[in-house]
Chain A
Amino acid sequence: MTEFKLPSLGADMDQGKLLEWKVKPGDAVRRGQVIALVDTSKAAVEVEIWHDGVVQELITQPGETIAVGAVMARLATPGEVPVPALRRPASPAARKRAHELDVDIEKLAGTGPHGAVTLEDVEKAAVKPTPAAVPVPDRQAEMRKAIAAAMSRSKREIPHYYLAETIPMQRAMEQLARANAARPVTERVLIGALQLKAVALTLRQFPDLNGFWQDGAFRAGAGIHVGVAISLRQGGLVAPAIHDVDQLSLEDLMRALADLVQRARAGSLRSSEMSDPTITVTNLGEQGVESVFGVIYPPQVALVGFGRIAERALAEGGALRVAPVVTATLSGDHRASDGHRGARFLAALREQLLRPEEL
């Protein structure tokens, strides 16, 4: 028997509200399968399970708010003989009345001896709360609070250092334009995806920027899972991860990025995306700023920012020419790395973007 507990879907999350179960008792589930929809203060997240098994009992009821780590369900592990689920204890009078009132007794929390559902529990449940009586959670206020908590923690705990580097983008843009010319319009790759890939490939040489600062020590990430800062239309932002970005083709990365942005804005992110980015990339170029010095999302140790790609006068080989450039920045956690390493990272990122054919 294994327990399925509410995972932390971000450093700023300490509780979540179950919106919906995607499985029912008796269902076989596979590792990676989405089994529940949970509302964090930021988004409705599809929560995945990390073990194969058979659902035995759903403990948390939809609508319940529970703490991170609380047991939500029990599963029989493969090979284990499933124990028949116990019938919810309910008094005979409660069962009879539930039948009359068409109330599902299995969904009620009992207040009788041994948690049995009583007549009163059924009659209370039968009185449907009027819509006005249910306070509508202010999603924006909740998200603001979550961002405030995470960012305050970051600035309280993380000694940031900031570096910037100007990167010529002509070669990358020409390379991308050539490749896109051969692609159908719907599959064209945006420069943002190229930048993400460049960051991911560069990070292979800088594992000390890719991971977490936890319990007073650095822990390297298991893969290069790049959190992408996505602003939401109603305000606020999320930074879900694309997994193993360094191993994705540009086309796959572009598809993953488009999918992620769409789902983030629709509010249907997955738990693994929310919980395990190893670094964050923020791109405010579209907003027209030249550069962005971001605040690190704890417990990550670095954040890479890209500003607007703009034509600048570029001195090269004793001559001036006009070429497109971008300002890339690094916000680093000084506990995990030093400015020297950060500078080398930005230099390597520059070199990478000057060799777009490798991307």
Chain B
Amino acid sequence: MKTSYREAMRAALREALAADPRVFLMGEDVGKYGGSYAVSKGLLEEFGPERIRDTPLSELAFVGAGIGAALGGMHPIVEVMTVNFSLLALDQIVNTASLYRHMSGGQFSVPLVIRMATGAGRQIAAQHSHSLENWYAHVPGLKVLTPATVEDARGMLASALADPDPVVIFEHAQLYNVEGELPEPWTTDMKKASVRRQGKDVSLITYGGSLPKTLKAAEMLAREGIDAEVVDLRVLRPLDDATIMASVAKCRRAVIIDEGWKTGSLAAEVMARIVEQAFYELDAPLARVCSEEVPVPYAKHMEEAALPQPAKIVAAVKGLLG
């Protein structure tokens, strides 16, 4: 069945709400407005204001309320409009949600799902274009998911809700309109990375909104006789080292594509793990394509220049092939 990423996510929400009365959705404009990215459109009418709750503009308050509800036995889904605004709720997520199991000696679970949009590429300027997935992937006690396909948009939410600990789901804003074939049955896995394209010459490792760009780069490389493998990380915490290392051992060269800034990036973490675990498999230095280390520009051509693009990925690959 052909569907869009947005529709797949909405279908996942509808299924979760229908299946379990403990599940409810809460966030800014999720009800009457139908969600800032129209993901929850129609859900208020279907499930009512008790379960589709519009909140005040206070991320700290409504993420905190979500933690309280989770502690109280509910399975809340909290939508934060974008990762940019989630910084106001960092204390709740990093200091509270991620730590309760540890601080309580295992007595409390926080089965909370936080969804947020991320990423640049739509000319909404520096304050609304961050990619800070790596900030959350840094924190023990959290799980971080980056569905990048229609299938994962449809399937990962159910596993996130079933998890007894807090899960953060990043939805790249550039993906909502992407359409694709939804297989049946779809996977609900939230542990493994996935090889999206088989190849043998270079392993292109990416996640989220950079996956379509990376697949496009792989097609460009294929026309030049370079057979690239594309690995979609899917889960940023905990990282699926086995799939990464298997791909690197096969291709012996790797480029990491990450919309975050290079310094201290998730790409840096992946590179470090490859060096730790697969050093003797490498036949070339590792490379990465990240965003330029500037605030994301507003002007269209400048914004495009600042972000990873297929041509940059192709150039990085060629740099490894001598």
Partner-B contacts on A (CB < 8 A): 91-96, 110-116, 118-120
Determine which of B279, B319, B320 lies in contact with A92 in the assembled complex, contact meaning CB atoms within 8 Å.
B279
Q: Is the CB of A119 within 8 A of B320?
A: no
Determine which of A94, A110, A113, A120 lies in contact with B285 in the assembled complex, contact meaning CB atoms within 8 Å.
A113
Interfacial chain B residues near A112, Cβ < 8 Å = 283-284, 321-322
Give the distance in Å from the alpha carbon of A95 to the alpha carbon of B280 in the complex.
8
B residues 247-287 near A (Cβ < 8 Å) are 252, 279-285
Q: Is the CB of A111 within 8 A of B322?
A: yes
Instruction: Give chain B nearest CB distance to A132 CB in angstroms.
Output: 31
Interfacial chain B residues near A113, Cβ < 8 Å = 284-285, 319-322
Instruction: Give chain B nearest CB distance to A263 CB in angstroms.
Output: 44
Give the distance in Å from the alpha carbon of A181 to the alpha carbon of B99 in the complex.
111
A-B contact pairs, 26 of them (CB 8 A): A91-B252, A91-B282, A91-B283, A92-B280, A92-B281, A92-B283, A93-B252, A93-B282, A93-B283, A94-B283, A95-B280, A96-B280, A111-B322, A112-B283, A112-B284, A113-B319, A113-B320, A113-B321, A113-B322, A114-B322, A115-B322, A116-B284, A116-B322, A119-B252, A119-B283, A120-B283
Interfacial chain B residues near A120, Cβ < 8 Å = 283
B residues 162-195 near A (Cβ < 8 Å) are none
Instruction: Give chain A nearest CB distance to B247 CB in angstroms.
Output: 14
Known: A93-B283, A113-B322, A115-B322. 20 other contacts (CB 8 A): A91-B252, A91-B284, A92-B279, A92-B280, A92-B281, A92-B282, A93-B280, A93-B282, A94-B283, A96-B280, A112-B284, A112-B321, A112-B322, A113-B284, A113-B285, A113-B319, A113-B321, A116-B284, A116-B322, A120-B283
Interfacial chain A residues near B320, Cβ < 8 Å = 113
Partner-A contacts on B (CB < 8 A): 252, 279-285, 319-322
Interface of B is mostly: loop
Instruction: Give chain A nearest CB distance to B279 CB in angstroms.
Output: 5
Determine which of B280, B281, B322 lies in contact with A118 in the assembled complex, contact meaning CB atoms within 8 Å.
B322
Instruction: Give chain A nearest CB distance to B58 CB in angstroms.
Output: 51
Q: Is the CB of B283 within 8 A of A118?
A: yes
Interface of A is mostly: helix
Interfacial chain A residues near B284, Cβ < 8 Å = 91, 112-113, 116, 118
Q: Which of B252, B279, B283, B285 has the most CB atoms of chain A within a 10 A radius of its CB?
A: B283
- Chain B residue at minimum C-beta to C-beta distance from A112: B322
Closest 3 pairs (CB-CB, A-B)? A112-B322, A91-B283, A93-B283
- Chain A residue at minimum C-beta to C-beta distance from B249: A93
Give the distance in Å from the alpha carbon of A110 to the alpha carbon of B282 in the complex.
15
Give the distance in Å from the alpha carbon of A94 to the alpha carbon of B280 in the complex.
8
Interfacial chain B residues near A115, Cβ < 8 Å = 322
Interfacial chain B residues near A96, Cβ < 8 Å = 280
Interfacial chain B residues near A111, Cβ < 8 Å = 322
Give the distance in Å from the alpha carbon of A130 to the alpha carbon of B279 in the complex.
34
Instruction: Give chain A nearest CB distance to B198 CB in angstroms.
Output: 20
Give the distance in Å from the alpha carbon of A346 to the alpha carbon of B279 in the complex.
77
Give the distance in Å from the alpha carbon of A110 to the alpha carbon of B283 in the complex.
11
Give the distance in Å from the alpha carbon of A154 to the alpha carbon of B320 in the complex.
52
Instruction: Give chain A nearest CB distance to B283 CB in angstroms.
Output: 4
Interfacial chain B residues near A92, Cβ < 8 Å = 279-283
- Chain A residue at minimum C-beta to C-beta distance from B282: A92
Interfacial chain B residues near A94, Cβ < 8 Å = 283
Interfacial chain A residues near B280, Cβ < 8 Å = 92-93, 95-96
Give the distance in Å from the alpha carbon of A289 to the alpha carbon of B30 in the complex.
114
- Chain B residue at minimum C-beta to C-beta distance from A91: B283
Instruction: Give chain A nearest CB distance to B78 CB in angstroms.
Output: 45
Give the distance in Å from the alpha carbon of A120 to the alpha carbon of B319 in the complex.
17
Instruction: Give chain B nearest CB distance to A100 CB in angstroms.
Output: 11
Interfacial chain A residues near B282, Cβ < 8 Å = 91-93
Give the distance in Å from the alpha carbon of A91 to the alpha carbon of B285 in the complex.
7
Give the distance in Å from the alpha carbon of A92 to the alpha carbon of B276 in the complex.
12
Interfacial chain A residues near B283, Cβ < 8 Å = 91-94, 112, 118-120
Instruction: Give chain A nearest CB distance to B318 CB in angstroms.
Output: 9
- Chain B residue at minimum C-beta to C-beta distance from A99: B280
Give the distance in Å from the alpha carbon of A118 to the alpha carbon of B253 in the complex.
11
Interfacial chain A residues near B285, Cβ < 8 Å = 113
Give the distance in Å from the alpha carbon of A115 to the alpha carbon of B322 in the complex.
7
- Chain A residue at minimum C-beta to C-beta distance from B287: A113
Interfacial chain A residues near B252, Cβ < 8 Å = 91, 93, 119
Interfacial chain A residues near B281, Cβ < 8 Å = 92-93
Interfacial chain A residues near B279, Cβ < 8 Å = 92
Give the distance in Å from the alpha carbon of A245 to the alpha carbon of B252 in the complex.
64
Interfacial chain B residues near A93, Cβ < 8 Å = 252, 280-283
Give the distance in Å from the alpha carbon of A96 to the alpha carbon of B278 in the complex.
12
- Chain B residue at minimum C-beta to C-beta distance from A117: B283
Instruction: Give chain B nearest CB distance to A73 CB in angstroms.
Output: 25
Interfacial chain B residues near A110, Cβ < 8 Å = 322
Interfacial chain A residues near B322, Cβ < 8 Å = 110-116, 118
Interfacial chain A residues near B319, Cβ < 8 Å = 113
Instruction: Give chain B nearest CB distance to A273 CB in angstroms.
Output: 42
Give the distance in Å from the alpha carbon of A93 to the alpha carbon of B321 in the complex.
14
Q: Which of A94, A95, A113, A116 has the most CB atoms of chain B within a 10 A radius of its CB?
A: A113
Give the distance in Å from the alpha carbon of A119 to the alpha carbon of B285 in the complex.
13
Instruction: Give chain B nearest CB distance to A109 CB in angstroms.
Output: 11
Give the distance in Å from the alpha carbon of A120 to the alpha carbon of B321 in the complex.
12
Interfacial chain B residues near A119, Cβ < 8 Å = 252, 283
- Chain B residue at minimum C-beta to C-beta distance from A114: B322
Instruction: Give chain B nearest CB distance to A119 CB in angstroms.
Output: 5
Interfacial chain B residues near A118, Cβ < 8 Å = 283-284, 322
- Chain B residue at minimum C-beta to C-beta distance from A113: B322
